[in-house]
């Protein structure tokens, strides 16, 4: 009887209350009885399939949000391969910044109005100042 109530979508606590069984008895049975646990797993899977079927119906009837959710979670097989290939290509072309020279990076930063600090070691050495980020040496 408990299994039937759970199969209709009731929570274990509600099902136990309906048949007059302590929830702790339910938990104890769940912990000790593999067959009981397997039945509950099968019920959970069946209930999930019911929800998936309802989602599919909504998608077929034109619900864009249902269609989007369905296709994100159940894409056609050829989409999975294409998406994987696109991701590999996108990863390979990520941003291409690692292939740019320092000068190209500076021009890009200027074009994007990004302020960057540059280190001009030769100028700093000529002025007797340490390069930016390096501590001044103590000379006495």
* Reported pTM: 0.51
* 47 part of a folded domain: yes
* 37 part of a folded domain: yes
* 123 part of a folded domain: no
The tally of domains found in the chain comes to 1
Contact 18, 4 (CB under 8 A): no
* 33 part of a folded domain: yes
* 61 part of a folded domain: yes
How far is 30 from 44, CA to CA, in rounded Å?
Answer: 14
Structure-token match 């280190």, residue found: 119
How far is 96 from 16, CA to CA, in rounded Å?
Answer: 60
* 84 part of a folded domain: no
* End-to-end CA gap in the chain: 92
* 107 part of a folded domain: no
- What's residue 18's pLDDT? 96
Range of the structural domain that residue 34 is part of: 2-74
Three-state DSSP class for residue 94: coil
Give residue 85's Cα distance to chain centre. 19
Residue 50 has pLDDT above 80, yes or no: yes
- 70-116 tens-digit pLDDT: 988 888 887 766 666 666 556 555 666 677 778 877 777 777 777 76
* 98 part of a folded domain: no
- What's residue 27's pLDDT? 95
């Amino acid at each position: 009887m408990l299994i039937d109530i759970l199969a209709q979508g009731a929570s274990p606590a509600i099902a136990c209350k309906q048949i007059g069984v302590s929830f702790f008895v339910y938990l104890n049975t769940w912990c000790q009885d593999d067959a009981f646990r397997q039945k509950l797993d099968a019920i959970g899977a069946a209930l999930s399939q019911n929800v998936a079927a309802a989602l599919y119906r909504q998608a077929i009837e034109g619900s864009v949000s249902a269609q989007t959710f369905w296709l994100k979670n159940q894409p056609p097989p050829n989409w999975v391969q294409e998406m994987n290939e696109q991701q590999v290509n996108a990863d390979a072309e990520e941003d291409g910044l690692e292939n740019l020279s320092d000068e190209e990076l500076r021009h890009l930063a200027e074009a994007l109005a990004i302020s960057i600090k540059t280190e001009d070691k030769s100028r700093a050495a000529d002025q007797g100042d340490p390069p930016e980020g390096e501590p001044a040496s103590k000379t006495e």
